A = this chain, B = another copy of it.
Amino acid sequence: MTPRLAVVGVGLIGGSAGLAARGRGAAGHVVGVGPNRATLERAKERGAVDSFSTDLEGGVAGADLVLLAAPVPRILEQLRELAPLLKPGAVVTDAGSVKGEIARAGADALGPAFVPGHPMAGSERSGIDAANADLFDGATWALTPTPQSSPDAVETVRAFAAALGARPLMLDPDAHDRAVAVTSHLPHLLAYALAATAGRAAADGNPHLFDLAAGSFASGTRVAASSPDLWQGIALSNRDALLSALDACLGELGAMRAALEAGDADTLLAALRRGHEAKRDAPTR
C-alpha cells in the first residue's frame, strides 16, 4: 500500500487510477494535481482524489509515489521540474503512451527514482467523467525500467499496477515503442484517415454515404473520436517507430491496390489472407 499517492493529470487515466487506488485500498491518500481547479473539484466529487492542488510543488510534497498522467509533451516537462520537489525515497512513474523519450528524460532528471510505465487501457472518451475504477482490470500495464531505475522503485510501481488490477509486464522502452506503434498508434492514424476519407466523400456529392455505414465503419473509425491534440503529441514522440509501422501498412495496402487494379484475384486473396491469418492467430487482446 502506498501511503500517499500524487496523480498529476486527472483525466481518463489519472482519474481512473485514483478511483481504482482508493477503491482497492492501494493508496492511503490520493492527491490530484492539475492546472484546472474545476477538473480537480470534479475528480474529488467523483471520489478519484482525497485532496488536490493546482501546483506541482504543493501536490507532490510528501508523496511516496507520483503518477504522471498528463499528455506526453507535458510529462516531459514535468520530469524536469520534479527533482527538487520530491521527498527522499519518493518513486515516480508515468502513464505516457510512448516510452523511449520519456525513459531517457526521466533517467536524466530523476535517476533511480523513475520507473516509466504505460497502462494498456484507454478509451476514445477522455476526461475525468470517463474515468472508472475498473479501467485497468486485467489490462497489461507495461513497465519499462531504465538502466538507472532502482530495484525497489521498480517493485513499488509493479505492486501498485497489480494492486489496481492490471497485469504488469516488464520490457525494454524501445521494444515497447515499436510494439505500440503497430498496435495502438497506427490504428489511430488509420481511424482518422478513414473518417476523413468518408467526410470528404460525403461532402463531395454522396449524401447517402453515412446511411450505408454499418459495423465495419463504426469499428474502423471508433478511435477517431479521440483527441487530435493528444494523438499529435503521441505520434511525434514515437516518430521513427510509427513511420516504420505506417510504411509497413502502406506496403500491405499498396499490394492490395496493385492486385485490385490489375484484377489479380489470387494476389488480392493472398493479401487478405495474410491479414485474416494474423488476426486469427493473435491472442484475444
Q: Footprint of B on A, CB under 8 Å?
A: 120-123, 139-140, 142, 169, 171, 175-176, 178-180, 182-184, 186-202, 206, 208-229, 231-232, 235-236, 239, 242-243, 245-250, 252-253, 256-257, 260-261, 263, 265, 268-269, 271-283, 285
Q: List 27 A-B contacts (CB under 8 A).
A: A120-B213, A123-B215, A140-B211, A142-B212, A169-B208, A178-B206, A182-B197, A184-B212, A189-B256, A192-B252, A192-B274, A192-B276, A195-B275, A195-B282, A196-B252, A196-B278, A199-B274, A199-B281, A201-B248, A210-B285, A220-B223, A221-B279, A224-B275, A235-B260, A236-B263, A236-B268, A247-B257
Whether the pair B279, A197 counts as a contact (CB closer than 8 A) is no
Q: State how many angstroms separate the Cβ of A13 from the closest Cβ of chain B.
A: 12
- List chain B residues, Cβ under 8 A from A279: 191, 195, 199, 221, 224-225
Query: Given A220-B191, A243-B260, is A269 in contact with B232 using a C-beta cutoff of 8 Å?
Result: yes
